[in-house]
Structure 1
Amino acid sequence: MIELVRPTVDLADSWWAMVDDFGDETMHGSSYRPGDRDVLRDPEAFEEWVDWLGRMERPDEALPEGRVPSSNRWIVRDGRVVGTIAVRHGLTPSLLVEGGHIGYAVAPGSRRQGVAGEALGLALALAASRGIDPVLVTCDAENTASTRTIRSRGGMLEDERDGVLRHWVRTGAPAQPIGAGPVETRQARLVPITGPEAVAMRAGERRADWAEGYPREDDLDAVGMMRGDPDAWSPRHVVRRSDGLAVGSIGCFGPPEDGVVEIGYGLVPEARSRGLMTDVLSAMVRSLEAAGLSVVAHTEPGNVPSHRVLARLGFTRVEETGSGTSGEPGAEWLWARDVRG
C-alpha cells in the first residue's frame, strides 16, 4: 500500500536508507541535496529540517527567495520510505518552465512497480484539496518512464522547453458557485469592481493599489458595460496576493443566456508568463460551472498565450466568428470547455 506521509523523525532510519539507494541522483520533490548529508546526519539538525518541511505548508511562513508554499510528503510503502513528492501551491517563472506544481522521485530499488503512478495520483488529490486546478507536472524529454506516468494520470502535453516536457493535469478541485462576492484563488482575489472605482478608472485616476499599466484599454471596456451595483457577472479586479496590487481584470459579458456565459480576462504585461492567469481563470471558470453554467471565450487568432491558457483548462476551439476590418473571416476564435475532462 502506498501512502503520502508528512516528513517525521520517526522514519529517519528508513529515510536515510532511501537516500543511500539514490546515491548521487537528484531526489526531486525532497528539498534535499547530497551536500546536505553531513549536516543532517546530526539528529537535532535533521529534526529541525523535518520541522521546516512541515512549516513550508503554511502560507504565512517566511520562505527563501524562489521558494513557494509546498506540501512536502514522503512516499511510504509498507512502512518504508521509498520516495519523495512535493505539491507546490504556486508557480514562480522558473517553476513554470521546469519543476511545475509537483516534483517527485522514487528510489531506484522501488521503480517499475507502480509506485510513481500511485503517488502522483495521491498528490493530485492533495492538490485538488488545496484548490489547485490544473496542475503543471514536468519531466525530462528523455525520461520515458516519467512521461508515461504523467500521461497515465491525465497529463496533457503543452510543449517542450529546453528538453523539458510540460504537462497539465486537471484535478477537479471543488469550487463555490459564483456570486456577487470575491472569488478566492491560490495567487489572487477576484474582487468585484465597485461603481466609484469604475468611474475613477474611466476618469484616468491612478491609485496606489493599482499596478503600473492598470487599467488597460480592455479593462476600461469591461467597466464601461457595468450597470448599477456589481453582481456575479460584473468585472473584477485581479488582486495579486503577493503584493496586494490589482494587475488585471476578469468578468463576464453580461448574465448567462440559455445556461451559457462568456468570459473575458487580461493582465498588465509585468504580471504575465508567471502562471497567474491560469490560476485565476481556472478558479473563475470552476465557480461559474459550479453554478450550473457552460463557459465560452473568444480570442483573436494571434493571441497564442491566451490559446495556451484556455487549452490548459480543457477548452477547445469550436469555430471562427466575426470578420476583420476588411471583411476577412475568422477575426475571432470561439472556445468552449469540455466539462467531462
Structure 2
Amino acid sequence: MLITPRSSLRNTFLDAVREFQGEGRGSASDDTLLGHQITVWRDRWAEQGGFDEYVRSLIADARPETPRPAGMVPTTTLWFVEGDTWLGRLSLRHQLTPRLREWGGTIGYDVRPSARNRGHGRAMLRAALPHAWGLGFDPVLVTCDADNAASRKVIEATGGVFEDQRGEKLRYWVPTSPS
C-alpha cells in the first residue's frame, strides 16, 4: 500500500537503505534521487530526531511554497509498505521540466532489493496513477535505464507505451485516466 512517509517506519527504512547501499546506492557516482537522499541524510538518520526531520522534509516537498534548489519541482513522495515493513518509495513530480522530460519523468520509484520480483513495482506504479490523475497528468512519463529489464516490464505491465530512447533512458507514457 502507498502511504505518506511516517517516522514510525525508521528501522525498516534503514534496513532497506543498507540493502540499497550494498548495491552502491548513495555512492559518489549515484545520481539518483534516492542516492542523493542517502548522501545528504544518512548521518542524520542515525538519530530519531534527524529521521523525523527527513520525513517532514519529504512531506513539505509536495507544497509549491516550499523552498527548493533551482530546477527542482514540487514532488509528492509516497512509501510502499506491507504492514510495518518498508518496501519502496515513489516520487510523483508535479511538473515536467525539460530535464525531467528527457531523463527523470513524472514518476520515479525504487523497490528495496530484498522485495524485488514480487510484483511490488507494478503495484506501486498502478497505485500512483490516480494521484497523478489528480494532479492533472494523463498520461505520465515514466523512464528507466535501457539495461533495467525489470523496470521496463513493470512500466509495460502498467500500460506504458514506449516512445523512444534518449541516451541511456527508455521513455514510456502511461495512461492515468480511470477506465
Q: TM-score, normalised by structure 1?
A: 0.48
- More helix by proportion, 1 or 2? 2
Which blocks of at least 5 consecutive residues in structure 2 are unaligned? none
Distance 1:91 1:123 in 2: 16
Partner SS, residue 86 of structure 2: strand
How much has 1:78 moved relative to structure 2? 2.5
Deviations 1:172-217 (A, max 9, x none): 17xxxxxxxxxxxxxxxxxxxxxxxxxxxxxxxxxxxxxxxxxxxx
Which residue identity does 1:94 align to in structure 2? R
Q: Does 1:14 align with 2:19?
A: no
How much has 1:35 moved relative to structure 2? 5.2
How much has 1:29 moved relative to structure 2? 5.6
Asked if the contact 1:29/1:85 (under 8 Å) is kept, the reply is: no
Partner SS, residue 78 of structure 2: strand
Partner SS, residue 42 of structure 2: helix
Aligned to 1:103: 108
Distance 2:54 2:95 in 1: 22
Give runs of ≥4 in structure 1 deviating > 3 Å: 26-31
How much has 1:87 moved relative to structure 2? 0.6
How much has 1:75 moved relative to structure 2? 1.0
Q: Aligned ranges for residues 1-341 of structure 1 at < 5 Å?
A: 3-23=1-21, 24-25=24-25, 30=34, 32-34=37-39, 36-172=41-177
Partner SS, residue 33 of structure 1: helix
Asked if the contact 1:29/1:84 (under 8 Å) is kept, the reply is: no
Asked if the contact 1:29/1:105 (under 8 Å) is kept, the reply is: no
Deviations 1:92-122 (A, max 9, x none): 1111111100010101100000000001101
- More strand by proportion, 1 or 2? 1
Asked if the contact 2:41/2:54 (under 8 Å) is kept, the reply is: no
Deviations 1:157-181 (A, max 9, x none): 11101111011111117xxxxxxxx
Distance 1:143 1:73 in 2: 22
Which residue identity does 1:18 align to in structure 2? A
How much has 1:134 moved relative to structure 2? 1.4
Tell me how many residue pairs correspond in the alignment: 172
| Cα 1:19/1:89, change in 2 over 3 Å | same
Asked if the contact 1:157/1:168 (under 8 Å) is kept, the reply is: yes
Q: TM-score, normalised by structure 2?
A: 0.88
Which blocks of at least 5 consecutive residues in structure 1 are unaligned? 174-339
Identity score, percent: 37
Which residue identity does 1:25 align to in structure 2? R
Asked if the contact 2:143/2:171 (under 8 Å) is kept, the reply is: yes
Partner SS, residue 43 of structure 2: helix
Partner SS, residue 86 of structure 1: strand
Distance 1:112 1:72 in 2: 22
